Homo-oligomer: A and B are copies of this chain.
């Protein structure tokens, strides 16, 4: 039963009394072979414990069915949700995507990309690591491998992008804060080497501008896109002379960090300081207090990315349209009104 050396189509051929070509045809589900023959062959395949050698096949076929998903931070639940969406569509297309983590490290990303290329991937869905150099994907591009960026993009690149409407999301969130009476705002987390950062910050700024918040009342604190980053942001913000009373966070992770830091200082997120997140990961709903956040339909974006990828592969092109996903603000409990303006139209404010 368990023959030492692994079985090939020749073994199957011998077992079934046909030629290797016939076996190959059966393997590919060709309609050219007589049903009875196919049955015979399939039985032989079972009997010898054959396992298809995709490497050998790709040698001739020139395109594998491997699709890679390159993620910059596996520990961010956001990306897990993205992956889940993608997998849904790939699964129904009968293909298994492989996920690789770059841990936000461009060097590691290089290795991952190289490995994936050598493996002969058919396509790549990538959320590039921070600090990715402009040329990082050139190899892939000249090799004609379809790529789509998900969530993040590179400053100038022709590679199609699937992303939520960051500008609008940030605008909505900021407007919400202002509507609650806040006049001293902050934007927490993220770093300026990310395009998304500028998009979200842009939305924040536009809202401030059109809704009458002066530049000097809009504090911007860069920081890691993680809980830890959020904690740091809040600390530096509260150390200011005129600290903000509300913050839009780059990320839900940052928002969680901010809430945590507030608690540590004996402040209650919501009543004492308004915070809104971005991404609306599942945890947001379950936090205490539940986090108001910009919902981006993460699994939906994942599905979209997968569809685009499939289409690119099928039409053997390397171009596709960008997709900007709709967003909406889901209001929960993390944003109270500004304490200082609570009783007046726009107050001068005393200490909390």
Stretch from A28-36, A113-121, A193-201 contacting the other chain: A113-121
What per-residue 1/0 map shows which CB atoms of A138-151 lie under 8 Å from chain B?
A: 01001100000000
A25 within 8 A of B: no
Nearest CB of chain B from residue A334's CB, rounded to whole Å: 12
Stretch from A98-106, A152-160, A183-191, A239-247 contacting the other chain: A98-106
A120 touches B77 (CB 8 A): no
Once bound together, how far apart are the Cα atoms of A81 and B287, in whole Å?
Answer: 21
A310 within 8 A of B: no
- Return chain B residues, CB-CB under 8 Å to A59: 53, 55-56, 59
- Return chain B residues, CB-CB under 8 Å to A80: 74-75, 77, 80
A87 within 8 A of B: yes
- Return chain B residues, CB-CB under 8 Å to A74: 80, 83-84, 99
Q: Considering the complex, give the chain B residue whose CB is closest to the CB of A111.
A: B96
A52 within 8 A of B: yes
A49 touches B142 (CB 8 A): yes
- Return chain B residues, CB-CB under 8 Å to A260: 286
Once bound together, how far apart are the Cα atoms of A94 and B110, in whole Å?
Answer: 12
Q: Considering the complex, give the chain B residue whose CB is closest to the CB of A269.
A: B288
A96 touches B84 (CB 8 A): no
- Return chain B residues, CB-CB under 8 Å to A256: 286
Query: A87 is contacted by which of B97, B101, B143 (Cβ under 8 Å)?
Result: B101
B75 touches A81 (CB 8 A): yes
- Return chain B residues, CB-CB under 8 Å to A77: 75, 77, 80
Given A143-B51, A286-B256, A288-B288: A96 and B91 within 8 A (CB)?
no
Given A91-B108, A98-B98, A260-B286: A118 and B75 within 8 A (CB)?
no
A55 touches B52 (CB 8 A): no
Once bound together, how far apart are the Cα atoms of A167 and B96, in whole Å?
Answer: 35
- Return chain B residues, CB-CB under 8 Å to A263: 288
A103 touches B84 (CB 8 A): yes
A99 touches B98 (CB 8 A): yes
Given A54-B120, A288-B263: A99 and B101 within 8 A (CB)?
yes
28 contacts between A and B (CB under 8 A): A51-B139, A51-B143, A53-B59, A54-B55, A54-B118, A55-B56, A55-B58, A55-B64, A55-B119, A55-B120, A56-B59, A66-B119, A68-B98, A74-B80, A75-B77, A75-B84, A77-B77, A80-B80, A83-B101, A84-B103, A94-B111, A96-B115, A96-B116, A98-B99, A99-B100, A99-B101, A260-B286, A287-B288
5 smallest CB-CB distances across A and B, nearest first, come from A55-B55, A98-B98, A2-B142, A96-B115, A99-B99
